[in-house]
């Protein structure tokens, strides 16, 4: 389970966010340092650290996060976009509460750095 992070404080209402979507399982809000015209983070309300920590009981929740990512992209009016889940510090994870980046609105290069 994740300890207190910036994202758990957003979920608790202690910190503000630019909300895009919310339901009983997750919250989506704009990244404060957007890497593209659309850059939204979808986070579970459950305090999961990252994909290394998930268990089979999280299967529905993980699927739900991807469905919400797709819903967010539609809402933002983009048809090409990338989802990113950084797992661990060496992969670029800086906030240790699971989150799905939804990035789009410009041409994206591959492979990532
Ligand atoms: P990651 O590097 O994959 O852990 O992604 C963490 C993301 O959270 C980064 O893209 C940050 O810009 C973003 N971020 C950090 N603090 C906030 C915040 N208070 N509100 C929105 N996004 C944030």
Give the CATH number of the domain where residue 58 resides: 3.30.428.10
Q: Which residues of 71-91 are buried (b: 16+ CB within 10 A; e: fewer)?
A: bbbeebebeebebebbeeeee
On whether residue 80 sits in a domain, the answer given is yes
On whether residue 43 sits in a domain, the answer given is yes
Q: Does the reported pTM lie above 0.85?
A: yes
Q: From the candidates 39, 97, 99, 101, give the one annotated as an active-site residue.
A: 99
Q: In this structure, which residue's CA is closest to atom 1 in ligand 1?
A: 93
Is 99 among the residues known to form the active site?
yes
Where in the sequence is the domain holding 78, given as residue range(s)?
A: 6-104
Q: Which ligand 1 atom lies nearest to the CA of residue 30?
A: 21
Residues near ligand 1 (Cβ within 6 A): 6, 15, 17, 29, 31-33, 41, 86, 92-95
On whether residue 59 sits in a domain, the answer given is yes
On whether residue 111 sits in a domain, the answer given is no
On whether residue 63 sits in a domain, the answer given is yes
Which position has the token pair 């608790």? 12
Residue-wise pLDDT for 53-110, tens only, equals 999 999 999 999 999 999 999 999 999 999 999 999 999 999 999 999 999 999 999 9
Instruction: Specify the number of domains making up the chain.
Output: 1
Residue 2 has pLDDT above 80, yes or no: no
Angle at 16 between CA 108 and CA 107, to 5 degrees: 5
Give the Cα separation of 12 and 6 in Å (integer).
Answer: 10
């Amino acid at each position: 389970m994740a300890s207190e992070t910036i994202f758990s404080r957003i979920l608790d209402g202690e910190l503000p966010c630019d909300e895009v979507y919310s339901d009983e399982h997750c919250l989506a809000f704009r990244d404060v340092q957007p890497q593209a015209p659309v850059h939204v983070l979808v986070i579970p309300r459950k305090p999961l650290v990252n994909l290394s920590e998930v268990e089979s009981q999280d299967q529905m929740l993980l699927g739900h996060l991807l469905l919400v990512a797709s819903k967010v992209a539609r809402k933002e009016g983009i048809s090409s976009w990338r989802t990113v889940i950084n797992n661990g510090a060496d992969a670029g994870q800086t906030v240790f509460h699971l989150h799905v980046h939804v990035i789009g609105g410009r041409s994206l290069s591959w492979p990532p750095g």
